[in-house]
Amino acid sequence: MSKVLAALSVSVDGFITGRDPGLGRGLGDGGVLFDWYFSGDTPSQVFDGFNLSEPSARVFDALAARDGVSVAGRNTYDDSGWDQGGAPHPTAPLVVLSHRPAPAHHDRQTFTSTIEEAITVAKEQAGGKDVGLMGGGVVTAALEAGLVDEIVLHQVPVLLGSGRRFFNELPEHISLDIVDVVPAPGVTHLHYRVIR
Ligand SMILES: NC(=O)c1ccc[n+]([C@@H]2O[C@H](COP(=O)([O-])OP(=O)(O)OC[C@H]3O[C@@H](n4cnc5c(N)ncnc54)[C@H](OP(=O)(O)O)[C@@H]3O)[C@@H](O)[C@H]2O)c1
């Protein structure tokens, strides 16, 4: 059965971007969060052009191979220019969550307007593989709805001080089990299971 997974690069103070992210500006002044994708000598078997350290490649490729579909929030979609087509994963289709209609229609993209609809549609498209969440707003909405199975913090040793948060405000505590911790050059991979 498909699992719902949020695996994002994050600063120690909890930010998934720096200040002023946006189209053409990437993660704003938080670009360091993606340095570990390109600072090793082990090519990813899933993402062309990614060269990671050996321990990071093991973690990253195992997760990337599980993804059958991505669910992105509207900010991630806009900031990444996916209104021109495309998707974050080389093979998985993209489901977008937004209160607003799609600005453009492209193959491999589906717009949805509630988190429940987004996850239902995503699971239908996942072909038995997993659903990968992208964006702090989407992660928080899915956690509130009790729809997240696993969380991975690719934690980069920096305090960014400001930016978009991995987790926004939640109405109550959510307990986690730690599954795995993998230290690697420039990043520590922290893998949790959500207790429900
Ligand atoms: N560090 C990483 O690994 C990583 C990974 C992915 C993304 N990012 C970055 O994170 C940034 C975006 O994160 P974010 O937290 O600002 O936003 P986000 O989760 O991408 O998008 C939030 C938006 O999604 C829509 N949305 C969220 N919950 C909804 C719900 N329950 N029902 C309907 N629509 C809902 C709303 O859009 P509307 O109300 O406007 O329609 C909301 O403003 C981008 O800059 C992206 O590049 C970083």
Pairing of strands 94-97, 4-11: unpaired
Helix (H, G, I), strand (E, B) or coil at 68: strand
Mutate to test the pocket of ligand 1, among 99, 100, 147, 189 (most ligand atoms within 8 A of CB): 99
pLDDT digits (tens, 9 = 90+) for 86-109: 899 999 999 999 999 999 999 999
Mean pLDDT of the region 128-135:
98
Mutate to test the pocket of ligand 1, among 5, 8, 13, 16 (most ligand atoms within 8 A of CB): 16
Mean pLDDT of the region 23-34:
98
Rounded to 10 deg, the angle between the 115-125 and 136-144 helix axes is: 100
Class of the CATH domain delimited by 4-194: alpha beta
Mean pLDDT of the region 163-186:
98
Domain boundaries, the chain: 4-194
Pairing of strands 67-73, 94-97: parallel
Contact (CB, 8 A) for 182 and 195 = no
> What spacing in Å lies between the alpha carbon of 58 and ligand 1's midpoint?
27
Residue identified by tokens 């420039």 is 186
Ligand 1 within 6 A of CB of 173: no
> What spacing in Å lies between the alpha carbon of 80 and ligand 1's midpoint?
11
Helices (DSSP H) in 126-187: which residue ranges?
136-144
pLDDT of residue 1: 86
User: Considering only CA atoms, which of 138, 146, 139 is closest in space to residue 174?
Assistant: 146
Mean pLDDT of the region 180-185:
98
Chain-wide mean pLDDT for the chain? 97
pLDDT-based confidence at residue 150 (cuts at 50, 70, 90): very high
Higher pLDDT: 86 or 22? It is 22
Ligand 1 within 6 A of CB of 96: no
> What spacing in Å lies between the alpha carbon of 12 and ligand 1's midpoint?
20
| C-alpha R_g of the chain | 16
Spatial separation of the C-alpha atoms in residues 126 and 104, rounded to whole Å: 22
Q: Is the pTM of this model over 0.85?
A: yes
pLDDT of residue 196: 87
Mean pLDDT of the region 179-189:
98
Residue identified by tokens 């704003």 is 28
- How far is CA 111 from its chain centroid? 17
Mean pLDDT of the region 62-74:
97
